[in-house]
Structures are given as C-alpha cells and as structure tokens.
Structure 1
C-alpha cells in the first residue's frame, strides 16, 4: 500500500490532464488519510501480535522502526502538511513545503523496515 500510494499515486495524479494543485491536494488528503488509518490499524495489530507471540529480534526491531516512522509521520509531519494544504485550498499562496521530503524519507524507512521485518520472520 505504501509503495502504491506514496510512490505511484501521489506523484502521478498531478500529471493527469486537468488536475489542478487544489484538486490534487484534495485527493491526496483523502487518500493519505485513508492510508494512515489503515496503517494505524495494522500497526496496532502488529503490536498485539508481538505481545502475544514474541518474534525474533531480526523481525521485532524493523517492525518497531516502521511503527516509529508512522508515529513521526502522524504526529510530526502530517499536521504541518495539513496546515499548508489548508492554506493552499483556501486560496493562499503558501510557500513550498520541505515537509513532503521528510514524509517521503519516512515512507522509504517504513518500506525498508517492513521488508527487513518480513525477511526476519522468514529466517525464524
């Protein structure tokens, strides 16, 4: 889901004909809100799973890293991006945000951590 939405849908929607910045931001907010809800539910499921059956450290550490990255996105980066998109959607000329780069970097961390966690589980 992270790969499909963050690395395909998000940048490609702005290349579609007649998609303005306002429309793209509106779509992006809906899509990322839904993605973050699903990610949060899955993160809670992972925490419960870890509490029920302790996985090997080779899987536990990457899962913890992925969850930490998600928490930073939700608590630190996403609110700032939302404030900026609110301004743009209200018609203000908001400056470009570097928060997107932080969000993307955290997406890369999540993907790498989830892959490493899966590999760690396979090796168990």
Structure 2
C-alpha cells in the first residue's frame, strides 16, 4: 500500500501543479486581455473558474494528505505536501473572501479602490507551485 500511496501522491502533485499553472498563470491573466471583454464579465467568469479550481484543489489536498499518511514519503515530501495544503487553506479562508468582497462590489457597479488581495493570492500561488514541485519530485524519486 505504501508504494501505491506514494505513486498516487506523486500523480496528484503533478495534476494539482498543472491545474494551478494552467488556470492561475495562464487562463486568468489572458482572459483580461481578450478584446471586448468587460471587466465585470471577466470577473464573473473568473469567480466560476476559481470556485471550480479551488473545489478540485481541496479534493486533491485531501488525497495528498492520505497519500502522505499511507505512503513512505520522506521528510522533504511531507514538507512540500504540508506547505501546499496549508497555503491552499490560507487562500480559501483568508484571501478568497477578500477577493469575493471586492468582486461583489465591482459586479454591483462600484469601481472603488483596487484590492491588493490579488497580489497575496498570486504570492501564495507561487509558494504553492514551488511546494508542489518539491512534493512531486521527491515522491517520484522514492
């Protein structure tokens, strides 16, 4: 079971990494460069996409924890897994609600001051990407 769990953990780490890179660092910024796309429409689409991404990430985080508990990951992989899961938790519990409040205001027609929460979200995404790379590489090496 431990070899299978370790292999599953590696697969999940790479899948999770690919999803974060594709959505956060490719789809999200490019969407707002599309000609004729209004900010409100882009925000509405982004909310749907990130809600779906974060839901899948939560499932992958649970599978990652199970794989680490049931497998033989080694301490470096455990750190990579824990950092990935904790960062996701912070994003979901702290940063996403702030982004939601801002997008609610924009969708309601308020163009008030810009939020810095996006910078925090991106910063956490960078940390999560690094942690997922560490997790995936160290699990594959086992």
Question: Normalised by the size of structure 1, how large is the TM-score?
Answer: 0.96
1:18 Cα deviation after fit: 1.1
Runs of 4+ in 1 over 2 A off after TM superposition: none
Q: Distance in 2 between matches of 1:36 and 1:119?
A: 23
Q: How far off is 1:48 after superposition?
A: 1.4
Gaps of 5+ in 2: 1-18
What root-mean-square deviation, in Å, do the aligned CA atoms of Structure 1 and Structure 2 show?
0.9
Q: Name the residue aligned to 1:88.
A: 106
Specify the alignment match of 1:48 in structure 2: 66
Report the counterpart of residue 85 of structure 2 in structure 1. Answer: 67
Question: Per-residue deviation at 1:93?
Answer: 1.8
Q: CA deviation at 1:83?
A: 0.4
Aligned to 2:116: 98
Partners of 1:12 and 1:33 in 2: CA distance: 18
Could you tell me the TM-score, scaled by structure 2's length?
0.84
- CA deviations 1:35-73 (Å, max 9, x no partner) are 000000000111112222241112110110011110000
How far apart are 1:114 and its partner, in Å?
0.4
1:123, distance to aligned residue in structure 2 (A): 2.5
Q: What does 1:8-47 align with in structure 2 at a 5 Å threshold?
A: 8-47=26-65
SS in 1 for 2:112: coil
Q: For residue 94 of structure 1, report the CA deviation from its aligned partner.
A: 2.4
- Is the aligned partner of 1:2 residue 2:17? no
**Between Structure 1 and Structure 2, how many residues are aligned?**
124
